[in-house]
Amino acid sequence: MLKATFETGFPVPQQLADEFTKQYPNVTWDISSDQFANLITTTPLLLASDNPPDLLRLPTMVSFAKDGLLMDLDNYAKAFGWDQWPVPQLNQNRMSPDGIRGSGTLYAMGLNYSLTGVFYNKKLATQIGMTEPPKTVAEFDALLAAAKAAGLQPIMEWGSAKSGMGLAFPLQQLMAAYGPVGPINDWIFNKPGATIDTPSNLLAAQHLEQWIKAGYFPPDINAIEYADAASRFTAGEGVFTFNGDWQNGPYDTGMPGNVGFFLMPPAEAGGAPAAMSAPLTFGIAAKAKHADCAAFFFNWVATNDTARQINVTGFGSNPGGPANSKMPSVAAGSVTNETLAAGPVVGAAGNSMDFIANATSSIFAQGWTPELQKMVGGQQDAAGLLKAVQAEYLRELGQ
Amino acid sequence: MPVPSKSTVVSTTTLDNRHVVPALSRWKFRRESLVGWLFVMPALLMYTVFVLVPFLLTILYSFFRWNGVGPMTWVGLKNYVTIFQVPNLIGTIIHAFWLVVWFSFIPVSLGLIVASVIHRVATGRFGAIARTVLFLPQVIPLVAAGIIWGWLLALPGLINQILKAVGFGAVTRAWLGDFNWALPAVGLVGIWVLLGFCIVLLQTGMAKIDPALYESARIDGASWFKEFIAITVPLLRYEIGVCVTVTVIAALAAFDIVWVSTAGGPGSATSVPGIQIYILAFTQRSVGLASALAVMLMILVLVVIIPIQWLSRERAL
C-alpha cells in the first residue's frame, strides 16, 4: 500500500497510479489530493508527521530537503541508472549541502518535464501574414506590430496577483534571447553573488516595456486570471500567448487544429532558442515506509511505454527518461506534436531554464508580480524592475 | 440526575432557616459554581484550544526564527525590527485605514438608513425578503463571491457593459486591475458583504425601541428624519458600537475579502497587513516574522477599537 499526496486538478498521476496497480496488483494506493496553494502549507506538516506519504507532489524542494524531510535519492539514481539520463532532467532536483540547487544530492524526481514557448492562433497568424515561426526577436516584433495594425490583440496573457503575473514568461524568454541562460539559472538556484540585474536582462526588460507601451498586451492584463486568459485566447482573442505545454490539452480541445507552437526565437539569427522547462516534481518522504516501491514507481513512469503514453496524452509534457526512449504517439493535429518536437531542440542547445518565479519561495508574490504590474501601470521602468526584484531576492535570502 | 435535584431540595429548605445559611450556602455556592463551570466547560475548552492557545503561540513564535517545521532559533525582538523591511509595510497599513471607510463607515451608515426604512415601511413579507436578500452575502461562501465579483468587475464584465449601455463607455476599466480604482472596488465588495450584517443587527436593536416614543414624536409632528436623529440613533448607540467594532476589525485585519478579490494587486495597491502576514507565513515560511507582524496588527487593532468600545459603553450606561 503506497501512501501518496497529489495535486488537485491534475488527473494524470492518478491515472498512472491506476495503471501501476493494473501491472503490479500487489501495490494498492492511499491517495489524498489538495490544491497547489494548500500543498505549500500542508506539505511540511505531512512530511514531519509519523506516518508521512511515501510519494508526494512537492510544491517546493529546497527548504524541505534542508530540513531533512526528503529522502536522498542518489542510491536509487545509481541503482536504476537515472544518472545516465540526459543531464537537465535531474539537476533541477539536485541540491548541494549549502542549499544551492542545480547540483549535489538528488532529492526529487520529475513525473514529466514541461516546456514553455509561444502558442499562436493559426488562423489569425495567417491573417497577419505569418508563414513560418519567427527566427529572431526582430521578426517576432514585426509580427506583433502587424497584429496591432490589423486591429487584433497581439498577445493574450494573464497578470492578476491572484494568478501571479504572466508577464514573467515573456520577460524570461527575452532574457534568454538577449543573454546566456547560465547566469539566469544561477540566480534561480541561489548561487552566491548571483544577480538578476545584468546588462542583458536590462535589455530584455526594456524590450518587454516597449511591448507594453506599444499596447501588445490586453489593457486589463492586471486583472486577468490565468484561466480567463486561456479561455480568451481559445476564443480567438490574441494572436500569440506565452505559456507552457501543460496547457496543450485545453488548447487542443478549445481550438482544435488551430493552435501552433514555436520556441521563443533568439535575438540574433542563427542563435539557439531557449525555454523554461521544469520537472513536475515528486519526492519521497525521509520517513517513508515504502520508499523502494515509490522509487520503482518513478522509474516505471519514465520507462514503461503505457505510462509514458498516459503522461503524454494527459499532460502533453515530455515524459523524460533515458536518451534513447521511444516517444509515445500523439494524435495528429495536436499541438503536443509541436511541443514534443521542440523539447530536444532546447535540450541539444543546453538552453533550458527553471522559472525566475521559483528563485525563492515568495519572489513571485512579492517581487515579480507587483513590480511587473507596476510596469504595466506605468509606475515602474525596466531598470527599476530589476533593482526592486533583486532587492527583494536579497531580503528573502537574508531572512 | 439525583445529585442536582437533591441540592435543589437542600437549598429550598434552607431558605427560611437563616441560622444554617452560612455553612450550607458556602457548600451550595461551591456546588452551583461547579455546575456552572461544567456548563461553561465545553465552550471554554473550545475557546482555549482554538483561540487562547493559538494567540499565546503567536506571541511566542514572534520571538523565534522558524520555518514551521525545522528547528526554532530564539532571536529576541529581531523579528519586530526586520518586519519594517517588508515591502511597503506603511503603505499596507494606510490601505487598511482606507478600508475602514469602505468596510465600516459606509456599511454602518447605510445600514442605519436601510434598517430604519425597512423597520418603518416594510414590516410585512417585503421586509423579511429585503432582510434576507441583504443578509445573503453573509451566507454565500466568500471564495465564490470573490470569483463572481471578479467577473462583474472585469473589463468585459457586466458592470462595464452597463456603464457602456448608459453612455459611460469612457470610464470603463478593469476595476480590480486599476491602480486608482482597485481599492475602492475591493471596498465595494466589502460593503456588499458587511451591509447585511449591519442591517440585521441594527434592525434587531430598533425592534427593542418602545413604539410609544415614535408615537409621541409623531403626535408632535416629527418627520422621519427627526425621528431617526432624535430617537433611533441615540437609542441604538450600543448596537452601532457593536457594528462599528466588528466592521473596523474587519477592515484593519482584512484578509479574506482582499485575498479573494485582488490578492493585494495590482502592484501593492490593495495590499494590507493581513495579506503580508499570509505571504510571510505560508509562502515565504517565515513563521516568526509573520507572527511578529500579526502581534503588531493586533496591537494596532486594539488601539483603535478600545476607544470605540469605551465611547459606546460609556454613553450607553
Domain shared by B115 and B36, yes or no:
no
Average pLDDT of the segment spanning B94-101: 94
**What is the model's pTM?**
0.87
Domain shared by B95 and B176, yes or no:
yes
Band of the pLDDT at B123, cuts 50, 70, 90? low
Q: Check residue B9 and give its pLDDT.
A: 39
| B272: CATH | 1.10.3720.10
Q: What is the 3-state secondary structure (H, E, C) of chain A?
A: CEEEEEECCCCHHHHHHHHHHHHCCCCCEEEEEECHHHHHHHHHHHHHCCCCCCEEECCCCHHHHHCCCECCCHHHHHHHCHHHCCCHHHHCCEECCCCCECCCEECCEEEEECCEEEEEEHHHHHHCCCCCCCCCHHHHHHHHHHHHHCCCCCECCCCCCCCCCCCHHHHHHHHHHHCCHHHHHHHHCCCCCCCCCCHHHHHHHHHHHHHHHCCCCCCCHHHCCHHHHHHHHHCCCCCEEEEEHHHHHHHHHHCCCCEEEECCCCCCCCCCCCEECCEEEEEEECCCCCHHHHHHHHHHHHHCHHHHHHHHHHHCCECCCCCCCCCCCCCCCCCHHHHHHHHHHHHHHCCEECCHHHCCCCHHHHHHHHHHHHHHCCCCCHHHHHHHHHHHHHHHHHC
Mutate to test the interface with A, among B153, B176, B270, B283 (most CBs of A within 10 A): B283
Dihedral sign computed on CA atoms, order A327, A329, A335, A341: positive
Indicate whether B14 pLDDT > 70.
no
Range in A55-69, B15-29, B189-203 the model is least confident about: B15-29
Domain contains B56: no
Average pLDDT of the segment spanning B83-110: 90
Q: Check residue B122 and give its pLDDT.
A: 67
Q: Check residue A316 and give its pLDDT.
A: 81
Return the CA Rg of chain A: 21
CA B173 – CA B156 distance, rounded (Å): 9
Q: What is the identity of the amino acid at B172?
A: T
Domain contains B137: yes
Range of the domain at B45: 2-51
Domain shared by B127 and B33, yes or no:
no
Q: Check residue A242 and give its pLDDT.
A: 97
Domain shared by B84 and B47, yes or no:
no
**Average pLDDT of chain B to the nearest whole number:** 86
The residue among B256 and A8 whose pLDDT is bigger is B256
Indicate whether B19 pLDDT > 60.
no
Closest CB to B265 among A47, A48, A370: A370
Closest CB to B289 among A47, A380, A399: A399
Average pLDDT of the segment spanning B118-124: 75
Across A57-69, b (16+ Cβ under 10 Å) vs e yields bbbbbbbbbbbeb
**High-pLDDT (> 90) share of chain B, %:** 53
Residues of A in contact with B286 (CB under 8 A): 399
Domain shared by B42 and B171, yes or no:
no
Domain shared by B122 and B23, yes or no:
no
Say yes or no for a CB contact (<8 Å) between A220 and B150. no
Say yes or no for a CB contact (<8 Å) between A361 and B284. yes
Say yes or no for a CB contact (<8 Å) between B177 and A159. yes
Q: Check residue B23 and give its pLDDT.
A: 60
Domain A116-276+353-398's class?
alpha beta
Domain boundaries, chain A: 2-114+278-344, 116-276+353-398
Residues of A in contact with B282 (CB under 8 A): 40-41
Domain shared by B27 and B157, yes or no:
no
Domain contains B99: yes
Domain A2-114+278-344's class?
alpha beta
Indicate whether B5 pLDDT > 60.
no
Average pLDDT of the segment spanning B28-54: 89
Q: Check residue B102 and give its pLDDT.
A: 94
Average pLDDT of the segment spanning B220-240: 88
CA B34 – CA B29 distance, rounded (Å): 8
Task: Assign B80 to helix, strand or coil.
Answer: helix
CA A89 – CA A319 distance, rounded (Å): 10
Residue-wise pLDDT for B294-310, tens only, equals 999 999 999 999 998 88
**High-pLDDT (> 70) share of chain B, %:** 89
Residues of A in contact with B178 (CB under 8 A): 222-223
Domain shared by B35 and B98, yes or no:
no
Q: Check residue B314 and give its pLDDT.
A: 61
Nearest to A286 by CA among A118, A49, A96, A95: A49
Band of the pLDDT at B273, cuts 50, 70, 90? very high
In Å, how far is A72's CA from the nearest CA of chain B?
Answer: 17
Phi, then psi, of A155 in degrees rounded to 5: -130, 130
- Low pLDDT (below 50) residues in chain A: none
Domain shared by B110 and B241, yes or no:
yes
User: In the numeric block, which cell numbers belong to residue A209?
Assistant: 516595456
Say yes or no for a CB contact (<8 Å) between A370 and B87. yes
Domain shared by B33 and B155, yes or no:
no
User: In the numeric block, which cell numbers belong to residue B283?
Assistant: 509562502
Residues of B in contact with A362 (CB under 8 A): 279-280, 283-284
Band of the pLDDT at B12, cuts 50, 70, 90? very low
Q: What is the identity of the amino acid at A6?
A: F
Closest CB to B283 among A161, A365, A399: A365
Say yes or no for a CB contact (<8 Å) between B174 and A47. no
Domain shared by B241 and B286, yes or no:
yes
Q: Check residue A294 and give its pLDDT.
A: 94
Burial of B125 (0-12, 13-18, 19+ CB in 10 A): exposed
User: In the numeric block, which cell numbers belong to residue B216?
Assistant: 409621541
Domain contains B297: yes
Indicate whether B121 pLDDT > 70.
yes
Domain shared by B12 and B133, yes or no:
no
Say yes or no for a CB contact (<8 Å) between B87 and A40. no
- Decide if A2-114+278-344 and A116-276+353-398 have a common fold: yes
Q: Check residue A128 and give its pLDDT.
A: 95
The residues on B that touch A, with CB distances below 8 Å, are 65, 67-70, 82, 85, 87, 150, 153-155, 173-179, 262-268, 271, 279-280, 282-286, 289
Q: Check residue B3 and give its pLDDT.
A: 40
Work out how many domains chain B is built from and give that number: 2
